Structure 1
Amino acid sequence: MRLSKTFTLITIALLILACLPLAWIINSEWTVYHAADEGLNSIQIAHLAMVAVEKISFERGPANALIGASATPAARERLRLARQTSDHALRDLVAALSPSRSAYHQRALSSARVARQRLSEARRGMDRVIGSPAPSSAEIMAPIKQMFDVVPAILEAVTSLSTLASNAYPQLSNPLSGARLATELREYAGRMGSTLTAALAEKRPLTETEARDVFILRGRIEQLRGTIRLRLNVPSSQSGPRLALDSMQARYFQDGLAQVDLVLDASRRGQPYAVSLEDFTAGYVPTLYSIVELRDAMLTAAAVEARAQQRAAFRHLLGAIGLGVVALIAQLALLAFIRRRIARPLLAASRLLTDIADGKLDAKLPVNDRKDEVGDLLRAIAILRSNSQEKRRLEQERLRLIEELTEVSRLDFLTGIANRRAFTQAAHAEIARARLARESATLILFDIDYFKQVNDQYGHDAGDAVLVHVAAMLNRACRDGDLAGRYGGEEFVLLARHGGASPGDALAERLRAGIEETPCALPSGEWLAVTASFGVAALNDIRPTLEQMLQAADRALYSAKRQGRNRIVMAEN
């Protein structure tokens, strides 16, 4: 092959190599711009989801005002308009999410559809109560709680959208999470007003349960206010969120909660309420707008910064494209000049590049004492080989780290025992071995009783302490050959082998009694009594697989819960 033709081929190869990093840079800038655009879109859609939460929460006010009261045309019109507004908000949210193929948006869309279905069911229940001349407290609270259940589904959508936006704008995580917290604060504030509905409608003191619910909601509201304050303590160039926070403090936490306190005080004293349900709703609900204003202020602050960064990303993209074009033109001019002067040295350089491309990183480099462009090229080739060698070393190190992470992924990060996947893999093998050897085995599935109440009353740190405490007791109860793991949430599982030791149901009883008799030390210094409910299933011809044993044990576990918890139920043969 003639030298000119060979050099032409080399020129083309070098041109491609020069274009690759430019393409990578442009693609990187495009990825940044696309992520910024998608993040800004997610902020806007998250706002729609938060508005939907607000409107559904607001709808409870006009509905509550009609319970036990004469349904005037004006009051019914307010409820109709509130429902219409909620429907429009949900429809706008679904319409904004439907075109997107993003996994985050699809999860949010699914949550929005679930919320719409729950809202329809809750409205039917509310209409029945409104139409009843003298509904009982239970009849009043049932549809109100159904209305409460609508909001968590939309909050899941808010979380998905906020996560996507935070991934694109990590520095905006404070205003984004603050807006989400303000949405939750608005919902809990609305729930607290709704909790008073039955007592105000029936003109009776609050029940113990209602008073406790108000106390819990009040604590959650204060907690959210403190968290939002922390988010706003981060330095920012925008004063809007701080002003909105001051407004919320004055309008809701002073004026709004003062109205709640009047009702609570009258209830404690056994005195008649100074306001009717309709008057309370008319006075309390407007104070909630200050929370919505805070939410919108934080979202506006986040959107302003996001738009600025989106514009900056677009400018960087244009700059990268311009730089790429200039660099490409310069490369073509340089290759045209080199073609006339250094064709022969480039042949040697091409062989070296081929060796490096083939992974032959030990090829001997020629002695280079040249001070011209060819010398620079040979030195560049030496650097490229060094970088490739470093890349190979890093790749080997990456494979080693992957192996270590694979081992770590088999353990539950909190309790230190096997996670569900690791337990399932080991249990399948153990059951196959037991069946082959015609040995028996027992599966014990148990669930910590009232675990959600521990989290609600003492906090998630206390819940984690209980999980670690129970896992430690499970580890101590295991015998040689037994398999134990955390099956999920507050559920644990144990596959017990039968040998000379006691059978699996006796092991379950020892474990149940041990958990009941050994209180858990909480981080606060308190001691908490813990119990668990057990479902036990034996390996037999009816249940020859792990899945069938788990299903049987799960049914037995739920039976234990229905029978009062803190007990063991054996699966039926």
Structure 2
Amino acid sequence: MIRNAFSAMSIDRRFSISVAVALLPVLILCGRLVVHEWHAYVVADGALYAFQSYRAGLQAIERVSAERGPTNSALGEDLPTPEARRAALRRARDESDARIEKLIEMLQASRCPACDGDLARIKEARNELAGARANVDQLVRLPLAQRGERAVSSAVDGMIKVIPQFAPAIDALAANVVKGDTRALNCLILATLTADLREAAGQLGSHFTATLTARRALRQEDQLAIERTEGRVDQLRELIDAHVRDRSTLESTAFDRMNQLYFGEGIAYIAEVRRLASRSGGAAISPAQLADHYVPMMRPITVFRDQVLDLAETEIRHHRSNALALLAASGLAACVLLAILLSMATLFRRRVIRPLLDATHVIGAIANGDLTAEIPAARYRGEIKAMFNAIGVLKANSVERQQLERERDRLIHELKATAETDFLTHLLNRRAFESRARASCAERNTAEPELALIMFDIDHFKKINDTYGHATGDHALQLVARLCLDTCRPSDVVARWGGEEFAVLSRVHDAAEALAIADRLRRRISETRIPFNGKDGFTITASFGVALASACDSRDVARLFRHADRLLYQAKEAGRDRIVADPIGVPSGSA
């Protein structure tokens, strides 16, 4: 019936229906192309906004970190606190609050459901900052003699602990940027490393606040904290240098200035303060004097970070412009294609269908004897090649998108691996180790019911660096790492805890098995010679602390770490090259 009805239509109407049916798939393809490019533009635009939020987050962290300078100065001043110090502290807090509020506003304006958790964490960090400030203000209102050293240290630590609360939100924003523009990944990593360097540099100065306020010499725990932070600064410098070498456009005056002023003069100044503070009676330097001299040396770090962020923003904006251009081009191409097809149909209708109708009319007129009908003359043309060009454009865009997605997944995988691995020893880093430890504490294993944490520290490692050089010291760390992997079981979790300190997490049947593992490792380390200048070199020893989760009476990871660290400290105090465990200790040379 439909076929008969279609045959009964005039050729003009049948042609119109056929053109409409033929144009429908073309219209769908063009629509898909435009929608695809629109989605690419939306993602690129979202990446730019995420980058701006990411930048605001780094700036907020930097201002909160910089606030510790005036805070430490105020904690070291006796009453009445000089107006200049109070004014500096107010300005620093106002700047921190302004940066945090800007970040919160940007996250609220993003209309991103996934950002709600990040927003909540930022607000929680703001509340913790307010609490830390209140603690500082309470101490500042007391005379200097009544400010307990432990209270001052707690106040400084409270300000430091605020910074990590920002990290999850900043990492999430960086991931959103990478999703929109993978080419910005290197700059984002470098900017994050530089921000971490600024925080570590600030912490390095803050380690002296309680000591200088109390006007006493540095203690062993102070020295350890300073050395760990210095190790973190050195690690960050190596990572930053590696990324700058991979991208020559980042080698600039700001980078050279950072190396000269901070890594040259700043680190030297901290070393001098540490030398003075290690003497009996401490250093005759106040926290305010330390901040006035040291804080300006950290500013090139922020300048270099801003330069990296400017370069990243330029790249992201360029990517967004390209996406917009592709969207406009695809929309224009779709419109032009449809116009061409309609023009072709109209031309075909005018040059073929209408002359055919006219011929039918003329033939009918002649058949009826009307010889006055005019016989028209027509020239005919037609093109359909443009449609295939549109399909080719759609295919090319799909292929390009698939390649970009594969590259993005590869880069994200590399970033995750880099974030969990110590660059020197290729063991797990501290962050990854803590994550594995939390998971192990939550597990239950009837075959090996006991969870043991073995922490050890290479004895007199600074002397090794001073005597044989840092390159030999690094080689020693790498040899120790290989010994750990060769000695420990495949199921054990081995990590470089920081500096010359290592950690092993092991499932064992009992304390004796844990001690056996630690002693095996201690023996292998002491029996291994470290080559130097092509000769036999020298040997090293290590001090061990072995903590059992059951001995801590807790499955709390932080408590287990603290317990193992105390045991390690006892081993070093007892003469080094030995193992101290709870409930029993194993002296040097015993199993």
- Measured against the shorter chain, the TM-score band is 0.5 to 0.7
Shift of 1:326: 0.8
Query: Residue in 2 aligned with 1:21?
Result: 29
Shift of 1:532: 6.0
Amino acid at match of 2:293: G
Shift of 1:301: 1.3
Paired residues of 1:60 and 1:194 also in contact (CA < 8 A): yes
Q: 1:554 to 1:101 in 2, by over 3 A?
A: farther
Q: Deviations over 1:390-413 (max 9, x none)?
A: xxxxxxxxxxxxxxxxxxxxxxx9
Query: Residue in 1 aligned with 2:56?
Result: 48
The higher radius of gyration belongs to 2
Corresponding residue SS for 2:110: coil
User: Do residues 114 (structure 1) and 124 (structure 2) align?
Assistant: yes
Query: Residue in 2 aligned with 1:312?
Result: 322
- Normalising by structure 1, we get a TM-score of 0.65
Q: 1:114 to 1:9 in 2, by over 3 A?
A: farther
Query: Residue in 1 aligned with 2:213?
Result: 201
- Percent same amino acid among aligned pairs? 23
Shift of 1:271: 6.7
Paired residues of 1:107 and 1:160 also in contact (CA < 8 A): no
Q: Deviations over 1:470-499 (max 9, x none)?
A: 663579xxxxxxxxxxxxx99888xxxxxx
Q: Deviations over 1:186-210 (max 9, x none)?
A: 1111111110111211222111111
User: Do residues 172 (structure 1) and 184 (structure 2) align?
Assistant: yes
Cα distance in 1, alignment partners of residues 582 and 20 from structure 2: 77
User: Do residues 263 (structure 1) and 273 (structure 2) align?
Assistant: yes
Amino acid at match of 2:548: S
Cα distance in 2, alignment partners of residues 161 and 563 from structure 1: 33
Q: Deviations over 1:64-98 (max 9, x none)?
A: 11224221222122212211211111111101111
Shift of 1:442: 4.4
Shift of 1:375: 13
Query: Residue in 2 aligned with 1:253?
Result: 263
Cα distance in 1, alignment partners of residues 479 and 182 from structure 2: 26
Farther off after superposition, 211-220 or 557-566: 557-566
Query: Residue in 1 aligned with 2:570?
Result: none
User: Do residues 242 (structure 1) and 260 (structure 2) align?
Assistant: no
Q: Deviations over 1:34-78 (max 9, x none)?
A: 222111112211121111111111111111112242212221222
Cα distance in 1, alignment partners of residues 482 and 55 from structure 2: 33
Unaligned runs of 5+ in 1: 344-371, 388-412, 432-440, 476-488, 494-505, 537-552, 569-573
Matched pairs, number: 446
Paired residues of 1:473 and 1:515 also in contact (CA < 8 A): no
Q: 1:559 to 1:189 in 2, by over 3 A?
A: closer
Amino acid at match of 2:192: R
Query: Residue in 2 aligned with 1:144?
Result: 156
User: Do residues 76 (structure 1) and 86 (structure 2) align?
Assistant: yes
Unaligned runs of 5+ in 2: 354-380, 396-420, 422-426, 429-434, 462-473, 494-502, 531-539, 565-580, 584-591
Q: 1:39 to 1:66 in 2, by over 3 A?
A: same
Cα distance in 2, alignment partners of residues 32 and 294 from structure 1: 31
Corresponding residue SS for 2:67: helix
Query: Residue in 1 aligned with 2:297?
Result: 287
- Normalising by structure 2, we get a TM-score of 0.63
Corresponding residue SS for 1:449: strand
Amino acid at match of 1:533: L
Corresponding residue SS for 1:233: helix
Corresponding residue SS for 1:35: helix
Corresponding residue SS for 1:472: coil
Cα distance in 2, alignment partners of residues 449 and 244 from structure 1: 43
Query: Residue in 2 aligned with 1:546?
Result: none
Shift of 1:531: 4.7
Paired residues of 1:446 and 1:557 also in contact (CA < 8 A): no
Shift of 1:232: 2.0
Q: 1:222 to 1:36 in 2, by over 3 A?
A: same
Cα distance in 2, alignment partners of residues 559 and 213 from structure 1: 17
Query: Residue in 2 aligned with 1:361?
Result: none
**Pick from 491, 515, 519: which aligns with 2:521?**
519
Query: Residue in 2 aligned with 1:64?
Result: 72
Amino acid at match of 1:519: L
Paired residues of 2:492 and 2:505 also in contact (CA < 8 A): no
Cα distance in 2, alignment partners of residues 178 and 318 from structure 1: 34
Amino acid at match of 1:89: R
Paired residues of 2:63 and 2:95 also in contact (CA < 8 A): yes
Cα distance in 2, alignment partners of residues 196 and 211 from structure 1: 10
Corresponding residue SS for 1:519: helix
Corresponding residue SS for 2:339: helix
Q: 1:326 to 1:562 in 2, by over 3 A?
A: closer
Paired residues of 2:187 and 2:311 also in contact (CA < 8 A): yes
Shift of 1:245: 0.8
Q: Deviations over 1:367-392 (max 9, x none)?
A: xxxxx99999xxx9xx99xx9xxxxx
Q: 1:208 to 1:567 in 2, by over 3 A?
A: closer
**Pick from 303, 306, 315: which aligns with 1:296?**
306
Corresponding residue SS for 2:548: strand
Query: Residue in 1 aligned with 2:372?
Result: none
Cα distance in 2, alignment partners of residues 173 and 262 from structure 1: 38
Q: 1:532 to 1:471 in 2, by over 3 A?
A: farther
User: Do residues 219 (structure 1) and 223 (structure 2) align?
Assistant: no
Q: 1:199 to 1:105 in 2, by over 3 A?
A: same
Query: Residue in 2 aligned with 1:472?
Result: 490
User: Do residues 192 (structure 1) and 204 (structure 2) align?
Assistant: yes
Paired residues of 2:188 and 2:309 also in contact (CA < 8 A): yes
